[in-house]
Amino acid sequence: MKSGWSRTALIEVSVDPPHRVGTTAKGYEANTNGWDAGSVAITVVPYSPDWPKQFARVAADLQRTLERVPILSIEHVGSTSVPGLAAKPIIDIDIVVERQNVPEAIAALVGTGYVHRGNLGVTDRESLAAPDDEPRRNVYVCVAGTLHLRNHLAVRKILRERDDLRDRYGAVKTQLAREPSMDIETYLALKSPILQEVLALSELTDAEKQAILALNIGSAGGPQNPTAPPAT
């Protein structure tokens, strides 16, 4: 099963409750859902072959829910979309649509129990809370062609192709999450160098790469530029 379903996955920074099994560090919730202050644990666990299966199951459900909406694709993004990469055990899903179809997609999802949470500070990306935790997931309706989406897809592509970068990135995340005093701002800043190496191989412009870097190393208190992609 491919990681993206199509009619023609920033990597991730998420948090886990402290009781979850995995490598954790205290911090603020700075995941792709937005910035919610609170003492939580950043959790990084070894790659699970169940993740693509979980995505495929959710994508099939979403396809049925959105059958009357002209979506472009349903993408498995974030670290769980990269085979072999340590990640937080939450599936990140981008539903890609043209701008004019965003309201229709949101309405269809809300009609099946999803809760619309707005863009949470990221322009052209709408967050929806899932009605259940089977599996735990982040679901977004994204406007096609925007920077945060192209960032997700570019990083996924490169990390799938470059095992060396994948392994280095996973090692960095795991090591940082082991530090009991680690805060989210430091976590993002210390991950940024390896992510910049990844993005250097992408087709993003220099200005776009700098926008992502600025967000990742200057993220205290939340995103500084609401048009920039979320820290990954």
Contact between 1 and 108 under an 8 Å Cβ cutoff? The reply is no
pLDDT tens digit sequence for 114-141? 999 999 988 999 999 999 999 999 999 9
For the chain, the C-alpha Rg in angstroms (whole number) is 16
Domains of the chain: 4-217 (3.30.460.10)
Contact between 148 and 161 under an 8 Å Cβ cutoff? The reply is no
Look at residues 41, 43, 34, 42 and name the one whose alpha carbon lies nearest to residue 222.
34
CA–CA separation, 98 and 153 (whole Å): 17
pLDDT tens digit sequence for 165-210? 999 999 999 999 898 888 877 887 888 899 999 999 999 999 999 8
Look at residues 103, 71, 70 and name the one whose alpha carbon lies nearest to residue 4.
71
Asked if the model's pLDDT at residue 14 lies above 70, the reply is no
Q: What's this model's pTM, rounded to 2 decimal places? A: 0.79
